[in-house]
Structure 1
């Protein structure tokens, strides 16, 4: 089968042929139809991600497809459509994955939607509800609001009853955030983002997937008792947070690594995903897929992701046989 493999540290990954073994006990074999891309994929290529596997490995952290075989002890039936948080192995025509990582998809969900769903929506839901305790009537600022996780934070923030201020680069991206439900939008490259947020009344929660100066500016606009969610550093730099402000204003700083809950408290992820899939089935969530690419264009897709040219999630569509 074809797979996009990182053969050695420092090398560019390549689309190549690799064998497909039979599934081990506790594993199911999935014919992969779609794989969502994440900034973590870029970090893995550079060897900078906290959970980078030892090479050689196949890239692709989340996927969707159909079960085509099952190892001993598995209960998922052949033909079941599943979303899989794999951590690796998604950019391939097929793969073997622990059954515990596979979730049956809602009937109305496409493979592309499922591949774009788990990490982005899961991150925002656990961050906003479990970690920050975002309450109805509070004000949420979302940095990188037109990106893959940012748009889900806008949606879920509104679902939880918050007033959402979306920060994104340029009018086109701000318009996408408004379409997702944002009450107010700001240009994230404003000369004085802190003052712009304060002019709108300040905020109770900051959802920061960008980092850098924007993260610091939004942090400084938090109200007393506010919560700052550290999601990622898509800008390439970490924010220089004034911790004396956290002390004086009783601000809580929460780091959120969604995949880390597999070890920390897996029931949080299970319950969150069940609720999110239920919201989707009821028509309450609308995954935004910015673009889809065939396997042959994986390098182009990764470069679009790296350059932040995209909105929403980027998905690789794979012509797997099922």
Structure 2
């Protein structure tokens, strides 16, 4: 089968033919229909991500497909089931073998394109806002990078949780996407972020996947007892937080790396995804996929993320089967 692989950490990824092993006792074999791209795929490719597997390996952190095989210990899935897997790697391939405890059955009305880009973006935002920051109805949530893969879901979930949402993004088109997801106030990247947020009453929770100047401006626009959630650093600038300012304003800085939860509290991720899929089935979540590209255009999809030319998710269609 074909896979999009990093053969050596110093080289660009390339398509390779590899052998697909049989599933182990607790594993599923999938015919992969779609795979979601994430900014973390770029960081892994650049060698700057916090969790990089040893080369050679196949890129692709999340997939959706059909179960075609399973280990003898797997009881909760059957052949033919439609599932999504937050795998961390091995997703950008025609087929794959994954641990069954990383898989969830997807709703009948959810497309493979939606399912492939659902878990990381929605899971990150729900864990950040509900489990870590304990966002409350009526609070003001500021989301930087609000039209991106995780930022857009933070806008949607924050609004669903009863917050007043301020969306910060670059350009009118991206701000309109954030508005459609539920944002109450829009701030363009070229505006004075701190001044605008303070004019709107300050932020009680900051959801930041950008870092750099956006984080520093948001930090200075926080209300007393605000919580700042560090999701990522798409700007490439990892800001340093002045501890004395945390102290004086009684602020809380929070880190959120969803992949880390599988190492110590996998149940938290599973419970979160159960809630999110329930909301989807109730029609309360509407995943936004701006680009669906074929398997031979993966690099083009990564370039869209790198250049910030996408909104919501970019998904690779591996197979055209329904």
**Cα distance per residue 1:76-110 (max 9 Å; x no partner):** 10000001011101000000000111100011111
Partner of 2:138: 137
CA distance in 1: counterparts of 2:240 and 2:22, whole angstroms: 49
The unaligned stretches of length 5 or more in structure 1 are: none
Are 1:93 and 1:320, in contact at CA under 8 Å, matched by a contact in 2? no
Alignment of 1:227-266 (within 5 A): 227-266=227-266
TM-superposed deviation, 1:320: 6.8
Partner of 2:289: 289
Misfit runs of 4+, over 3 Å: none
Are 1:28 and 1:69, in contact at CA under 8 Å, matched by a contact in 2? yes
CA distance in 2: counterparts of 1:264 and 1:256, whole angstroms: 13
Aligned to 1:290, the other structure's residue is in SS state: strand
Partner of 2:129: 128
CA distance in 1: counterparts of 2:319 and 2:17, whole angstroms: 15
Are 1:212 and 1:240, in contact at CA under 8 Å, matched by a contact in 2? no
CA distance in 2: counterparts of 1:168 and 1:42, whole angstroms: 20
Partner of 1:67: 67
Aligned to 2:246, the other structure's residue is in SS state: helix
Question: What is the TM-score normalised by the length of structure 2?
Answer: 0.98
CA distance in 2: counterparts of 1:143 and 1:128, whole angstroms: 14
Partner of 2:197: 197
CA distance in 1: counterparts of 2:301 and 2:15, whole angstroms: 14
Aligned to 2:223, the other structure's residue is in SS state: strand
Aligned residues: 321
TM-superposed deviation, 1:24: 1.3
**Cα distance per residue 1:202-245 (max 9 Å; x no partner):** 01000000000011100110100000000000111112333221
Are 1:227 and 1:252, in contact at CA under 8 Å, matched by a contact in 2? yes
Aligned to 2:319, the other structure's residue is in SS state: coil
The unaligned stretches of length 5 or more in structure 2 are: none
Once superposed, what is the RMSD of the aligned Cα atoms?
Answer: 1.0
Partner of 2:165: 164
Partner of 1:183: 184
CA distance in 2: counterparts of 1:245 and 1:99, whole angstroms: 45
